[in-house]
Structure 1
């Protein structure tokens, strides 16, 4: 069971929101959170991110009409759904010149009870926050992160690097893709944050942690995060999904 809030904002500089974010739930209390940041021009970026979320969400919701086996391997199901979207986007771009070069980041998380399985492509991020601190679960598939991990630049240089938006892997940009996979256990006081780089490039992790662990409602926390990113410049679209385990049923508060 999980409580969640979803918020996507165009930001202060863009004319089109190429982000997408959604949470889907099944009667059994299983939730799927998906966030995506499209690229490839206004038409291509919006199409890529919205298609990824729509297709994965529709495949997930089809399961509500089936008897879900307790032994069902959700990691296999989700990976296959991601492969399906990747093939569709790649072939669509190949057949339609105006969509050439499109792609999207993707964070897709299945939450069942307190277990969370995450697939990751690109430079959107997943964080886990609890009273002990904040931890970035995913590793950016970005040019700057390659430089950072090799020791060629510092974190401070990475934050201002002119190529910090170059990503090395995106859904739909190659015929085949291998997403990163992570599994985490969410405690009663844990939060899971999925966000696009419109948030993570602007709001530092200490501020994220302070806001998320505050006494505000779940909705207020997402609004404060997005408002702060806009206050700090808002050059990009900003999307946030904030989830918290609950023993009270599936709620959207």
Structure 2
């Protein structure tokens, strides 16, 4: 299988530059990085891709069993790395892809050497001594709404996830991204995302790690960023002056600054 075609891989920046692999979250595609990728590509080799079931990835490669767990998405990322023979990679994962990056680093430490976790959440459902931001009932209601009327759910939820009501074009962009995703594939990815519990996987992280959270984020509140930071020894936590769950769109300058400062000092 042509992995480059399957995952709609695009590569920019200097061929001999340090490699950044940018991985999008649920309901999105590589276009979510459009405001920061060109700046990063000035000094880094930036690799973008779409998970199967998202964006312009080959829909014929969809396998519900594979993509019913986060490991399936980690395999997509690692197969891109293998296809391009990428090593010493900084995996930049947004939202659920932050946890995909954790799995990828554990599976292939010879390829993934640093993690940047943008608005991560290892578990969305509250638990004893843990605040994920949602009750089990909240998530069940969210999934039922998504499964019964995906387009309606997208139009309602995307602006809430994006926030920044003073810039409604950002919410519209996320709505368009959600609505362009095949509903059946999106339902599987949604369940995989919102029912996941990756807290134990954080214990496997041994590479330099940057955690970026936002001042206000209804999907991954600041308690979650603090939890991830405490669970990964030696990690760095930077709280961006940003609102919403997609700082790469709402605060691209601050996001780039935090990432490049981390990469300049991470060993």
* Structure with greater helix share of residues: 2
Larger RCO of the pair (alpha carbons < 8 Å, separation 6+): 1
* Structure with greater strand share of residues: 1
TM, length-normalised to structure 2? 0.29
TM, length-normalised to structure 1? 0.30
